[in-house]
Copies of this chain bind each other. A is one copy, B any other.
Amino acid sequence: MTDRLEAQFAFLNEADRLKSVMRATTLVDGSRRENSGEHSWHLALYALVLADQAGPGVSIDRVIRMLLIHDLVEIDVGDVPIHSQNGQAHASAATQAAEARAADRIFGLLPGDLASDLRALWEEFEAAETPDARFAKSLDRVQPVMANLMSGGGTWASYNVTFDQLETRVGSRIARGAPALWDWVREKARPWFG
């Protein structure tokens, strides 16, 4: 029991470092960049509130669990902004290998049963093949769009993004797990691009 709690808290204390990983996206009020810890909270809240946008067979509670852990590997690897040069293609083999090493280290802090459960959940998110993972990925893509809209352009301005690029890099992935949500957000975003 004591050893188990030691391992559980080794993980929870290490996870705290996600609050210091900075993303390109700002807060809605534009006052500062968002960190990956508060981003993970906001996404879990997105799942709770936008549950009716999920397709059949999606378990919102599993989506929430997935979103709570989806960025933990960034403690070692950092965040790669979607619109930066490295964010546009699928993750490189080097990035994927670094993320797998990070997952080994971070989930490996947990007791064995929890380590394999959460590692499997993270791999499911990364693969984006199950209905739960597709919906989780859609939310992960739509939240920065909303932050950019609310803050007057955000990363679209800093990376000179076009509407076509937004459709390709972001919209197609939102549409995969939440098509009606992308239809609605697309019309909100279009005027910004003129």
- Stretch in contact with the other chain, from A15-23, A85-93, A127-135: A15-23
B42–A28 CB distance below 8 A: no
**CB pair A65 B68 closer than 8 Å:** no
Copies in the complex: 2
Q: How many Å lie between the Cα of A4 and that of B31 in the bound state?
A: 28
Q: How large is the interface on A (under 10, 10 to 19, 20 to 34, 35 or more residues)?
A: 35 or more
Q: Answer whether residue A120 sits at the interface, using C-beta atoms and an 8 A cutoff.
A: no
User: Do B13 and A28 have beta carbons less than 8 Å apart?
Assistant: yes
Q: Mind listing 26 A-B residue pairs with CB under 8 Å?
A: A1-B180, A5-B181, A5-B184, A8-B49, A8-B50, A9-B146, A11-B49, A12-B45, A15-B45, A17-B28, A17-B29, A19-B27, A20-B31, A35-B38, A38-B38, A38-B41, A44-B44, A44-B64, A44-B68, A48-B65, A48-B68, A48-B118, A49-B110, A61-B64, A61-B65, A64-B65
In the complex, A118 Cα to B50 Cα: how many Å?
Answer: 13
B contact residues around A28 at 8 Å (CB)? 13, 16-17
